[in-house]
Amino acid sequence: MPISKFALIRSTVAAFLVGLAALLAIVGTTLWLVSEARTYSDLSVAVRLQRAALVDLRSLLQDTETGQRGFLLTAEDAYLAPYEQARRQLAAQLELVRERLSGDPSLAAPVARIAEIIDAKIAEMQDTIDLVRAGRRDDAVAIVRSDRGRALMEEARGIFDRLIRGAEDRIGDAVRHQYGTISWLIWVTLLGALVIVGVVAAAAWMATVYTRQLVAAQEEVRALNAGLEQRVAERTADLGRANDEIQRFAYIVTHDLRAPLVNIMGFTSELEASLGAIRAWFEKAGVPADDPLAGEARLAAVEDAPEAIGFIRSSTRKMDGLINAILKLSREGRRTLRPERVELGALLSAAAESIQHQVVEAGGEVTLAPDLPSVVSDRLALEQVFGNLLDNAVKYRSPDRPIRIAIRARPEPGQRILVEVEDNGRGIAPQDHERVFDLFRRSGAQDQPGEGIGLAHVRAMVRNLGGDVTLASEVGRGTTMRLNLPRDLRQVARTAGSEPT
């Protein structure tokens, strides 16, 4: 199952939240249960204290009765001691019971009843003791026999038992509740731990799957990349072959076009020579006035035929020029490049030197930047390129101002340099910026000799050197030719034009 990046983020966040919730639940429940446990443990301590107080109170009451009984039987004060002692403690113990049981309002009534019973019982016992002391032992026994004291005692015992049992029940409840709390804690912790483990496992699984996916995708990208490079190499080779083919084609075509042209030109010359003979004959013999045919023949020999020959000649000359231009281009494309270290500064100052005469005559100057770099390239091609560009700059200068040519260079990314040849000449109209690089195309006023070959040749050579040439120009302001060249021709993957000899 593929996992998208967003699904991964969503589920990771969800897992994180679930895990956090589980952890919070564990911590919260633990805190709550601990406070519960403390409450119940406090409660059970209090109840134990209640029970202890009640038990003590019951013992004291029984002690008083025991002492009283002993005294009744023996009439000796020694037996009365426990009674006295317990009686002295009873009030305090009762107070303690009251205090410890004060938390539960439902126990107020039984406690009050116990207090009453204690008072009544003490009063009854005191009566019997007083009667014994007064020697009226029978009366005292009679009081005892009245069962009033026994009934009180029974009642007190019943209340004590109930209270003590109630306390014990409450302790048992608290303990049971604590057990319940502890098992709750265990369950919640277990469950929370399970959830956390589950979430962690799910997150780990997602991460693993996603990572695996990423690795697979990376592999795929790498494979694609390799394929792409291969394809680029193949295409480049195809292009190189196509280019070679075109170069060869151009070469063969132009070459084969020259042969018939030689014939046309040659026989035109022969024709002209023959015509010369005819003309000479007419001049020598003159034209008989009575022969219209002779007049026409003379006209043909003297005017029509030379005119026709003139047109043939000018056309063949033009065609010859065009063929030579194409031949030159294709030959340049086929020339084996010889990469060598070329100091652009030296090369450009030599190129500038060759136009110096014309520049000085026009009152202008050529400025070379001082920091021109060196490149590894074909010296001859570079000389021709810059020679052409500088020639153009001089040729198409503006007549309104002294010519200024500036040459500078700067590095470009990818081990390339950009050389700029800027002039203040007449400029090139925007629609011709690309066109001037085409063969036989020229721009602006056709007031200078030329065939429209120079820039086409420049572009062909620069491209052959692994570079390109573009221009920026404004009519009336000047033109900047920009040559983007590789620093090292050998690093440029290019086979076209550098076929092995």
Binding site for another protein (CB under 8 A): 255-256, 258-263, 265-270, 317, 320, 323-324, 331, 501
Tokens read off for 321? 């020029």
Q: Provide, rounded to whole angstroms, the least separation between the CB of residue 383 and another protein.
A: 18
Burial 374-390 (b: 16+ CB within 10 A, else e): ebebbbebbbbbbbbbb
Whether 54 contacts 97, CB under 8 Å? yes
The rounded distance, in Å, linking the Cα atoms of 421 and 444 is 20
The continuous run of DSSP H or E covering 77 comes out as helix 77-101
Q: Provide, rounded to whole angstroms, the least separation between the CB of residue 499 and another protein.
A: 10
For another protein, the closer of residues 198 and 306 by Cβ is: 306
CA distance readout (Å), 241 to 24, 237, 465, 493: 72, 6, 17, 13
Where do we find the tokens 């109170």?
A: 57
- CA atoms within 13 Å, Cβ hemisphere of 267: 5
Q: Provide, rounded to whole angstroms, the least separation between the CB of residue 266 and another protein.
A: 4
Q: Provide, rounded to whole angstroms, the least separation between the CB of residue 269 and another protein.
A: 5
Q: Provide, rounded to whole angstroms, the least separation between the CB of residue 432 and another protein.
A: 30
Q: In what side-by-side order are the strands of the sheet with 416-423?
A: 365-368, 404-412, 416-423, 478-486, 468-474
User: Judging by beta carbons within 10 Å of its beta carbon (0-12, 13-18, 19+), is residue 357 exposed, middle or buried?
Assistant: exposed
Beta bridge partners of 391: none
Pairing between β-strand 404-412 and β-strand 468-474 as defined by DSSP bridges? unpaired
Whether 485 contacts 419, CB under 8 Å? yes
For another protein, the closer of residues 75 and 319 by Cβ is: 319
For another protein, the closer of residues 24 and 262 by Cβ is: 262
Tokens read off for 479? 């033109």
Among candidate residues 229, 231, 246, the one with its CA nearest the CA of residue 496:
246
Whether 82 contacts 129, CB under 8 Å? no
For another protein, the closer of residues 250 and 492 by Cβ is: 250
Q: Provide, rounded to whole angstroms, the least separation between the CB of residue 332 and another protein.
A: 13
Q: Provide, rounded to whole angstroms, the least separation between the CB of residue 371 and another protein.
A: 37
Q: Provide, rounded to whole angstroms, the least separation between the CB of residue 343 and another protein.
A: 27
For another protein, the closer of residues 235 and 317 by Cβ is: 317
Q: Provide, rounded to whole angstroms, the least separation between the CB of residue 490 and another protein.
A: 22
For another protein, the closer of residues 257 and 472 by Cβ is: 257
What are φ and ψ of residue 476, in 5° steps? Answer: 85, -10
For another protein, the closer of residues 93 and 330 by Cβ is: 330
Three-state SS at 154? helix
For another protein, the closer of residues 248 and 379 by Cβ is: 248
For another protein, the closer of residues 230 and 336 by Cβ is: 336
